[in-house]
Amino acid sequence: MTHGVALQRVALHTRLKPGKEAEYESVHAVIPPELDEALREAGVRSWRIWRDGLDLFHVVEVEDYAKMRAALRDHPANIPWQARMSELLDVEDDYSGGDSGLGLVWELP
Q: pTM value? A: 0.88
Tell whether 77 is covered by a domain: yes
Tell whether 104 is covered by a domain: no
Tell whether 84 is covered by a domain: yes
CATH code, domain with 35: 3.30.70.100
Q: How far is the C-alpha of 2 from the C-alpha of 102, rounded, in Å?
A: 24
- The beta-strand segments (E) located in the chain are 8-15, 44-52, 55-62
Tell whether 105 is covered by a domain: no
Tell whether 99 is covered by a domain: no
Q: How many domains does the chain have?
A: 1
Per-residue pLDDT of the chain (109 residues; tens, 9 = 90+): 546 779 999 999 999 999 999 999 999 999 999 999 999 999 999 999 999 999 999 999 999 999 999 999 999 999 999 999 999 999 664 455 677 899 999 999 9
Tell whether 52 is covered by a domain: yes
Q: How far is the C-alpha of 70 from the C-alpha of 80, rounded, in Å?
A: 16
Range of the domain at 69: 8-92
